[in-house]
Amino acid sequence: MLWAVFTIIAAAAQTARNAMQRELTVTLGTVGATHVRFLFGFPFALIFLAGVCIVTASGLPTPSLEYWPWIAIGIVGQIVATALMLAAMSDSSFVVTTAYIKTEPVQTAVFGLVLLGDRLTPMLALAIVVATAGVVIVAMKPGAAKANGLRPAVKGIVAGGLFGLSAIGFRGAILSLNIPDQFVLASTFTLAVSLVIQAALLSGYLLLREPAVLRAIFRAWRPSMFAGFMGAFASQFWFLGFSIAAAASVRTLALIEVLFAQGVSKFAFKQKTSLREVIGIAMIIGGVALLIWAH
């Protein structure tokens, strides 16, 4: 059950990072706030990798050709998903956007079955359905469609699908290193590779297209540093979870992030919790309990 511990830590850290990025969107815009997690995250990933190599007295793994298509799926999917997530958060509330995105587990289960052959037992499938249904209930805010249109919902759901696809890509990359007895090294190496490439790609884009945004990012280095660290920290534990459990299981347990988001929404953004949201949250908890039982 180590994967469950990793997932809970990752979900808590990601909630903190998302809240910080939401605030940065106001000053840096969607692309700028998206870039923060990569530009200020990759140095921490390199530190994590160096620490793992020193502690385990291991050298860096040698990726095969199979590794690079998987890592490309993870990298591109995560960049686009993060941008869509932040754009959706600008259109809707923090907790509702998080709920839309968390339709991800069902999509992840399908991607995992098709691309990696990750099969689910009937109990696991039920857990995913129950927990995801709870998320949908939380997301179905009365009047939200009229007030904001369908754009936040579409952006959130598509972002969830892309996050699911990126999870499959990163899990495929980790598994392709073929060092299951060194899953911590495989996970940390893949994290470092992905963040370095993502930081380089987005830095190049901003340098050519929006250099003012790049300058604004560096001026906001203090909150950006925190968001970058929390992003790298969360990703470290996501990757550890992916290395030893199916991505669908990890992303279903990750639905507890909705509970963390509810807390952030209530105490940081002063948004109230309705009875409908309480019912949805209860279903999420029930689905997570089924998931743990199934494992």
The span from the CA of 41 to the CA of 224, in Å, is 9
User: Residue 113's Cα: distance from chain center in Å?
Assistant: 20
First to last CA, the chain: 8
CA distance 287 to 285: 5
Q: Are 109 and 165 in contact (CB under 8 A)?
A: no
**Is residue 146 scored above 70 in pLDDT?**
no
What integer is the mean pLDDT of 135-146?
64
What pLDDT is stored for residue 47 in this prediction? 96
Two tokens, residue 166: 């990126």
pTM over 0.85: no
Residue 288 in tokens: 């997570």
Residue 252 tokens, joined: 């279903």
Kindly state the tokens that stand for 108. 């992840």
Under the banding of pLDDT at 50, 70 and 90, the label for residue 224 is confident
pLDDT above 90 for 273 = no
Section 18-23 average pLDDT: 74
pLDDT of residue 51: 96
How far apart CA 227 and CA 288 sit, in angstroms, is 27
User: How many of the other CB atoms lie within 10 Å of CB of 149?
Assistant: 12
Give me the pLDDT at residue 239, please: 95
Q: Which of 154-163, 220-229, 242-251, 262-271 has the lowest mean pLDDT?
A: 262-271
Q: Please say if the pLDDT value at position 264 is more than 70.
A: no
Separation CA 90–CA 98 (nearest Å):
12
- The upper half-sphere exposure of residue 292, i.e. CA atoms within 13 Å in the direction of its Cβ, equals 15
pLDDT given for residue 22 in this prediction? 73
Domain definitions of the chain by residue range? 2-294
In whole angstroms, how large is the CA radius of gyration of the chain? 18
Return the higher-pLDDT residue of 273 and 184: 184
Torsion of CA 151, 155, 158, 162, to 10 degrees: 170
State the pLDDT confidence band at 30, using cuts at 50, 70 and 90.
confident
Total count of residues recorded for the chain:
295
Least reliable range by pLDDT among 72-76, 89-93, 134-138, 269-273: 269-273
3-state secondary structure of 60: coil
* Mean pLDDT of all residues in 19-42: 82
More confident residue, 120 or 271: 120
Whether the Cβ atoms of residue 71 and residue 175 lie closer than 8 Å to each other = no
Give me the phi and psi of 63, to 5 degrees please. -70, 145
Rounded mean pLDDT of 138-160? 69
3-state secondary structure of 272: coil
**Interval 62-88 mean pLDDT:** 89
Mean pLDDT over 145-159 rounds to: 71
pLDDT at 15: 77
Residue 290, pLDDT > 60, answer: yes
Please tell me which residue, 4 or 142, carries the higher pLDDT value. Answer: 4
Tokens found for residue 143: 């009047």
225: left (phi over 0), alpha (psi -120 to 50) or beta: alpha
DSSP at 181: G
- Asked whether the predicted pLDDT for residue 206 surpasses 60, the reply is yes
Enumerate the H helices of the chain as residue ranges.
2-39, 42-56, 67-91, 94-101, 104-111, 122-139, 144-148, 151-176, 183-209, 211-219, 221-244, 247-253, 257-267, 275-294
How confident is the model over 36-54, as pLDDT tens digits?
Answer: 888 999 999 999 999 999 9
Average pLDDT value for residue range 102-113: 84
The pLDDT assigned to 73 comes to 95
Please give the C-alpha separations between residue 220 and each of 38, 69, 215, 224, 274, in angstroms, as whole numbers.
15, 34, 9, 6, 35
pLDDT cut 70: percent of the chain above it: 88
114: part of which helix (H) or strand (E)? none
Mean pLDDT of the chain: 84
Check whether 86 has a pLDDT greater than 90: no
